[in-house]
Structure 1
Amino acid sequence: VLDAAVEIVDLLGASIGVKILATSRARLGLRAEHEYSVPPLPMPNPRRLPPFAELAAIDAVALFVKRAIAARHDFALTEANAGPIAEICERLDGLPLAIELAAARVKLLPPKAILARLGSRLTLLTGGARDLPARQRTLRATIAWSHDLLSSDDQALFRRLAIFAGGFSLEAAEAVVLAGGDLDLDILDGVAALVDQSLLRLADGPDGESRFTMLESLREFGLERLEEARDGPATRRTHAEWFLTLAEVAQPHLTGPEQGAWLERLETEHDNLRAALAAPDDEGERRLRLAAALWPFWDMRGHFSQGRVALARALAGNAAGATVARAHALNGFGVLTYLQGDLARAVTIYEESLAIRRELGDQHSIAASLNNLGVVAEDQGRYDRAVTLYEESLAILRELGDQRFIAVSLNNLGRVAHEQGDDARAVGLQEESLVILRELGDKNGFIVCLEDVAGLAASLARTAPAARLLGAAAALREELGVPATPVEHARNERALAEVRAERGEMATTKLLVSGRSLSIEQAIAEAHAVLREVATTLDTA
């Protein structure tokens, strides 16, 4: 047993062809060294458990069960405790020492109770064997031993990086950790040192960007140290401000050509964004602005319940009155409320947002609120009211020259015209919408327009192009990561039911697959062709 790198250097220098396998918390830093990271134990996904017969063979579960039997001889893995044990292993990051210490608690607590207490894992995970070194008898002692070997600057870096939930980029780390100007270190060198000390892990981020994560047990320890340090409040504030800036910069891109990349970035940072929303905010303004900026992301990625809770809390915690942020947050709150089927409540929220926007004279936002009220009226079957609202919104948008939302309004009016039985008007409005969207290259706008043209086509027995357009729209949704809302899904299913009724299941599937392979240009051409065909038929009828 060799205690120090210098002894290994001497051994290598005096030997020929010798290979040494060394385990260490940190790299030895020798020229001949080849590093192999030892990952955590393989563990099951508690949300998708494998068959029970296979569970005991998974390393993390096997270790838990083995140590639990050592603590309580009659313990056994069962169908009832399999889920909690899998979740314990996941919450403990697959760390062998942490799993062993958790399993030892089986002597007094069932796995479900152990899981419930893991919110403070460093307090729970104690009581290691007396024949272990003192630093390995509790999880806190093990982490503290590694932490105390760091320089004071690296300790400050470690505890500040613990503020990040779910990982961080170098750019974010530099902005948050070095904001106070009190640490004299290069962020790349500092992060590299913590990686070398096994306190950070390197992961791949979006677009191949380097991203770093901290095991949750280490993060809990770091947050404890951050609470004890004087730099804790400033670090929390800077972290929240950084992610507010990210969300506000991202928002306009969520309806642009880089939509998919920005949605993916926000998804990657979702844990950090949640932490920023939970950060202390005396006036509530930052939380309100952040929730207002995030609602389109919550909408597009289907995080309806989570978004509603965050928006409700942000609105309740800020009484600033008629502000742009409040109107925007109310509008988002209304959208998510509508998407979850509470139409009456959505109308009330939209009207509150519209009143503020009229007071502020924000014409573009007034048009958006009118459009949203029109959508609710349409779903309620109040088509005349929907047309009035859509047309008022469209008139404002034409004055502003906002082509993208003009296209949205035209498509909405076309869909209502079809519901009212005026298919000639519907065709003209959807043609005009398609032309604008094609000029803009707006992929997101194409989705709903293609789906609505498909609905019109299916109802008029043009089932083949209807199915292909639905397939093309579905492929676009997958490409952009934008799932259909419940209302959109219901419309699409009605159209598909008409296709299946005429074509049968097998032919419908083939048409959908064919549509998925269409380019955007081919899908637009298909939509124009079916609209022209419908228009010709209507003219000669």
Structure 2
Amino acid sequence: MAALDALRAALGEDRLLLVLDNFEQVVAAAGDVAALLEAVPALVVLVTSRQALRVRPERLHPVAPLAATPAERLFAERAAAVHPGFTLDAGNAAVVAEICRRLDGLPLAIELAAARIRLLPAPALLARLAERLDVIGDGPVDLPERQRTLRATMEWSSSLLGRHEQAVFTRLGVFSGGWTLDAAEAVCGRAGEPAVIDALAALLDASLLVAADGSASEPRWSMLDTVRSHAVEKLLASADRAETERRHSQWLLALSDSFWHTGALGFPAALARFDHERADLRAAVHRAVAAGDGQTGVVLARNSLPYLVRRDGVGEFAAWLDGLLRSADELPPAVRGRVLVTRAMAAGFLGDLSTVRPLLEEGRRLLPVDVDDPEHHYDRAGAGLAGVYAALADGSVEEASRCIDEVEAGFAAASQEVGLMVAALIRGNLALLLRDHHGAETSYRAALEMAIRLEESSAAGEVLSLLGLVLLGRGDVSGGRRTILDGAAANRRNGTPANMVHGLVGLAAVALEDGRPAAAARALGAVDRARQDTTPPLWPVLGTLTEELTARTRQQLGVEGHEAASAEGRGWSLVQALDRTLAETAAAGGSRSDGAPAAMDPGGADDDVAR
């Protein structure tokens, strides 16, 4: 108190500004600063610190990283200071911009990187930034030791943390993207340790975490890349690494399994959650491949399939499984069988039908039989689905129908709502192949009901397009038109490229019913381009319908007229084709109904998936 009284007397009543720099070194003295402010009301204190003081008078003003242009200007200035011939010009501007972006716009990191320009030209410096903590160093000798290298800066910042905060910081290095509180608790929490949320608060105060994209109900945090590099290094050297990676994989296994049981969460929310976690999913699968952990790898891949199908990721899904088969020669028979069956299913999705049956038959031989557990039910459904593709490759719709019974039984035993919806859709396709319009309509309506309940608008659009084609085939032109327009509109808003193709085939059928064969030919031309460029092969029933519609348009237009209209359609993207064909159909008298399928669909278009 004597010191406080002396300061109060010295400062008097004058309005003064006291600047305290790098206060993180003495953050325990924050209470003294608060007491001084209370004792000297006219005093204003400006504090710079890596950590918040956490006192009542404090008003935080976070210093954001530099924006692109100031960051690039700083790099150029510091580079020219050590290498007078350096200038920022059109030849190196893109490289410098990427260097600054990779360094998160952090002024110290940019200054230290620029100091290397004498040794490493900008392209070489960028190429080595993967080792950023080692490459970025050798700063001016008149700087404090902790600011001469990026590694020293990171070590200094983390050394100011308590033991538990340091442990949580290290464990957070396992996340490739951001994380939610529940994810951090599942992966970084340990029995007998303080709460993870308290450690996160301390790391946020220490400016080692940043807020990431999230929602009010489920906020997310992440690290800048330079900070994360330090956390990763610490994790790789930590005795806790294996346990942290195991927990990370287990968290993703539980999260990915929940995708099949979206329940009240709804499909859109589940998709959005997986968009955030995709980098972590990829990292966990690659880790399993590297370790030869076939069980973890195949279950992670299989559980994520509904997401990957909607995000054009089936090719990556197949590559994961190929990696597991290559890296895990000593897999237990049941696990290897699971990988083979799942790979057969992927081959079917990708249209590689000649490989489906060999993979499936080898996988079936290795799988256990008459086992009543969730994993076996998944395997049973997956084997049935692969069997559908194998049967269709051989032209046996009857065998495919028997296989879909196996799919439904497996998904029902596992209570997989998404799987049951897919099974109903496929059963409708098989019925339509057999020209069983009544059976197709029954199955499509069941699939549509489940899609609406799950809020799976992408599948709903596909089902509506197919159901509308069935109704047209039964002579219900009005009902078929309305249903096809509903499906096309839903596919335009939220569909994958394959879904959009379904919408265009339906609109082509409507155009022919309206007596507009040129419009039908243009729509089918866009379908032809999409089949070649962006989408997996069409399901056989849609391929057959497309061929029939094409033959009708050629007959009505003649060869030259058909080719001219088709060529115009081939010049359109899927989005352009849907927009123009929908507009033309509306102008010709078609109108979309106000039924539940369209109403449930979110309004935002995701054009990128179709471009």
TM interval, short-chain normalised: 0.7 to 0.9
Is residue 239 of structure 2 the alignment partner of residue 230 of structure 1? yes
1:258 alignment counterpart: 266
Q: Are 1:397 and 1:405, in contact at CA under 8 Å, matched by a contact in 2?
A: no
- Deviation sequence 1:105-144 (CA, Å, 0-9, x none): 2223233222221121100000212232221111011111
2:466 alignment counterpart: 452
Which one-letter code corresponds to 1:28 in the other structure?
L
Which of residues 412, 425, 429 is equivalent to 2:429? Answer: 412
Which of residues 107, 112, 130 is equivalent to 1:119? Answer: 130
1:483 alignment counterpart: 496
d(CA) in 1 for partners of 2:32, 2:92: 48
1:508 alignment counterpart: 582
Query: For residues 133-148 of structure 1, what are the structure 2 equivalents within 5 Å?
Result: 133-148=144-159
Q: Are 2:356 and 2:386, in contact at CA under 8 Å, matched by a contact in 1?
A: no
TM-score, normalised to structure 2, is 0.69
By how many angstroms is 1:189 displaced?
Answer: 1.4
What SS does the aligned partner of 1:345 have? Answer: helix
Which of residues 389, 396, 403 is equivalent to 2:399? Answer: 389
CA spacing shift, 1:392–1:151, aligned 2, 3 Å: same
By how many angstroms is 1:409 displaced?
Answer: 3.2
d(CA) in 1 for partners of 2:108, 2:592: 49
2:416 alignment counterpart: none
Which one-letter code corresponds to 1:212 in the other structure?
W
By how many angstroms is 1:467 displaced?
Answer: 5.3
Q: Are 1:455 and 1:491, in contact at CA under 8 Å, matched by a contact in 2?
A: no
What SS does the aligned partner of 2:284 have? Answer: helix
By how many angstroms is 1:218 displaced?
Answer: 1.6
1:520 alignment counterpart: 596
Which one-letter code corresponds to 1:244 in the other structure?
L
CA spacing shift, 1:430–1:316, aligned 2, 3 Å: same
d(CA) in 2 for partners of 1:297, 1:23: 45
Is residue 488 of structure 2 the alignment partner of residue 471 of structure 1? yes
Identical pairs, percent? 31
1:48 alignment counterpart: none
CA spacing shift, 1:123–1:458, aligned 2, 3 Å: farther
Query: For residues 142-181 of structure 1, what are the structure 2 equivalents within 5 Å?
Result: 142-179=153-190, 181=191
Which one-letter code corresponds to 2:447 in the other structure?
L
Greater CA drift, 440-449 or 265-274: 440-449
By how many angstroms is 1:277 displaced?
Answer: 2.3
Q: Are 2:180 and 2:221, in contact at CA under 8 Å, matched by a contact in 1?
A: yes
Greater CA drift, 450-459 or 289-298: 450-459
For structure 2, the residue ranges without an aligned partner over 5 or more in a row are 1-18, 24-29, 413-419, 523-578, 601-611
d(CA) in 2 for partners of 1:229, 1:360: 43
Aligned residues: 489
CA spacing shift, 1:516–1:66, aligned 2, 3 Å: farther
CA spacing shift, 1:242–1:394, aligned 2, 3 Å: closer
By how many angstroms is 1:368 displaced?
Answer: 4.7
1:285 alignment counterpart: 295
d(CA) in 2 for partners of 1:489, 1:507: 12
Which one-letter code corresponds to 1:413 in the other structure?
L
For structure 1, the residue ranges without an aligned partner over 5 or more in a row are 44-57, 525-541
Q: Are 1:176 and 1:239, in contact at CA under 8 Å, matched by a contact in 2?
A: yes
By how many angstroms is 1:428 displaced?
Answer: 1.6
Q: Are 1:390 and 1:409, in contact at CA under 8 Å, matched by a contact in 2?
A: no
Alpha-carbon RMSD across the aligned residues, in angstroms, is 3.7
Which one-letter code corresponds to 1:115 in the other structure?
L
What SS does the aligned partner of 2:20 have? Answer: coil
Is residue 189 of structure 2 the alignment partner of residue 189 of structure 1? no
By how many angstroms is 1:155 displaced?
Answer: 1.7
2:207 alignment counterpart: 198
1:212 alignment counterpart: 221
- Deviation sequence 1:397-446 (CA, Å, 0-9, x none): 677895645522332114424xxxx4xx2x32332123323554355453
TM-score, normalised to structure 1, is 0.77
CA spacing shift, 1:24–1:172, aligned 2, 3 Å: same
- Deviation sequence 1:274-324 (CA, Å, 0-9, x none): 23223364654323332332233222221233322222222333443442x
Greater CA drift, 94-103 or 460-469: 460-469
Q: Are 2:340 and 2:360, in contact at CA under 8 Å, matched by a contact in 1?
A: yes
Is residue 107 of structure 2 the alignment partner of residue 99 of structure 1? no
Which one-letter code corresponds to 2:485 in the other structure?
R
1:431 alignment counterpart: 441
CA spacing shift, 1:437–1:290, aligned 2, 3 Å: closer
d(CA) in 1 for partners of 2:143, 2:592: 60
Q: Are 1:472 and 1:523, in contact at CA under 8 Å, matched by a contact in 2?
A: no
- Deviation sequence 1:200-234 (CA, Å, 0-9, x none): 22334356312221222222212222333322222
Greater CA drift, 264-273 or 280-289: 280-289
1:24 alignment counterpart: 49
Q: Are 1:413 and 1:429, in contact at CA under 8 Å, matched by a contact in 2?
A: no
Which of residues 54, 60, 71 is equivalent to 1:35? Answer: 60
CA spacing shift, 1:41–1:407, aligned 2, 3 Å: same
Q: Are 1:170 and 1:210, in contact at CA under 8 Å, matched by a contact in 2?
A: yes
1:374 alignment counterpart: 388
